Structure 1
């Protein structure tokens, strides 16, 4: 089981970050596919996931291709162009054309598609996040989050969870929509854990969480975002020189330590502002600003609008 590094017993950075983005999952239904078949998704407004219940298929993005086999689970962030097909060289129709003659997928839906050959069954669903604009997790997710059902180490939770989801989708008993959505939440979190366990040679925020030194620093930052952090203090916490710490942090996380802290404080502020009973002055103090004025300037610099405007529900411009 993955544990983040650090001295603060009981504090879990991943749990805190997941709570801030308000994960909402939806299982749309099941694909019953027979070769040859292929579909192309040029852009999805929401992250998608596919779980292979039987057979296999080829998933390709502009950057990589991988073979999915029975028991595999893959997460694909929003906006990524990709294709699914039974084999290399099979023509992939736009998914809109596939749906056009078969109707839209709804929770519990079933889509039959293909030429009558070798069969494959996929579960398909999507994720939605609220408050994700400044989340370090979603900014640094890999293009493909692939969990292998027969991977090393074995994942005893994956197959029974997928089968439970599939049985609920098929049975469509009262409350099945809620059950499969919660199970999809579990799949996403377990996929993150599996990625953290397997990414020993990869950089990124998830890798940083389990780095012995940088993970310890991230844990303390997330535990106390309001603390007066300095580069020297963070380096001391990591038992590294300032130069080596700054280089290591940037290599893993993708930005400088103090820039990360500023971004995380603004993300936390956006989460805190969901509470209508919390004043902006209280929010400012909770994320490390002595005055509401200094907080407001920092918030506008990162989000592109004032805290008051954001609180009124106005959609922000592109996050910087």
Structure 2
């Protein structure tokens, strides 16, 4: 079981929105808040990521060719050729319905920068802790020897956009879609940036337990059974899991069961009884009670509002 892939599958909504931006200095683009994570990939030239008055506070970040930045909470921000330039709203257009990405062109007399700008749509109601704990700004530098997989993806994306070879309309969106995985891999690999989840996924004991929970969320897991799977004593396993994951094993099990249930309610037509069985509950009533504790709404209401893009209610504070 690929735990990272499982988490992303549960939390992502649709395909990413992205645009190929070509700008000549001086220029500045304003980006509004997104329900998910915003990103920028610098293919050519230089620019700055800067906060806006209504955004979270962060220091301006200088970006160069090959650099990638992910705003993990979708905060408002600007990308500019230099500080204090006038800003225009980011409003991409498409040259044709088949164009692989939107397009933004900003003419000017100065140096040229080419950037892919966009956002990944993520469910933010009761988010998984790995995504909840993403930093406000994640800067993944193109320094030699670092994040080789991500750098290779950026180079491929640049080639597709620069030359538009046959099949680019299929390949380019797929590369943008896959970039999120490579960004998170790079962040997790940095360790000190990722907190407990970097260690949790790398640790053989905790990773075995997480893989078991994700593979069979409906299984009647107990701490003893998970400890056996992880090949550690019950007490030692519980301490290790809680330290690295940030919550006890059975608390995480409930969280993942409800996350899986939310995905089934959004993406399938399974009855409440079928969803209940799929996540380990003996009755629709017991499942609905547990779901309401996590999402502060009933499964039926969640299903209806999530399918029309409305907010399903305030998730329980953590």
How much is the aligned-residue C-alpha RMSD, in angstroms?
3.2
Would you say the 8 A contact 1:49–1:75 is kept in 2? Answer: yes
| Partner-residue secondary structure (3-state), 1:30 | strand
1:84 partnered with 2:79: yes
| Partner-residue secondary structure (3-state), 2:184 | helix
Counterpart of 2:220 (choices 208, 228, 237) is 228
TM-score, normalised via structure 1 length: 0.77
Q: Match for residue 145 of structure 1?
A: 138
Q: Match for residue 112 of structure 1?
A: 106
Q: Match for residue 302 of structure 1?
A: 294
Q: Summarize deviations over 1:237-277 as a string: whole Å, max 9, x none.
A: 362563x655544443333332221111011112223322x
1:319 partnered with 2:315: yes
Q: Which structure would you say has the larger RCO, counting Cα contacts within 8 Å and 6 or more residues apart?
A: 1
1:26 partnered with 2:20: no
Unaligned runs of 5+ in 1: 1-10
TM-score, normalised via structure 2 length: 0.78
Change (3 A) 1:105 1:257: farther
Q: Match for residue 154 of structure 2?
A: 162
**Shift of residue 111 of structure 1?**
2.3
Change (3 A) 1:63 1:28: same
1:16 partnered with 2:11: no
Would you say the 8 A contact 1:48–1:77 is kept in 2? Answer: yes
2: distance between equivalents of 1:268 and 1:305?
16
**Shift of residue 33 of structure 1?**
3.5
| Partner-residue secondary structure (3-state), 1:109 | strand
Q: Match for residue 49 of structure 1?
A: 39
2: distance between equivalents of 1:63 and 1:235?
41
* Number of aligned residue pairs: 298
**Shift of residue 292 of structure 1?**
1.8
1: distance between equivalents of 2:40 and 2:144?
17
Would you say the 8 A contact 1:24–1:129 is kept in 2? Answer: no
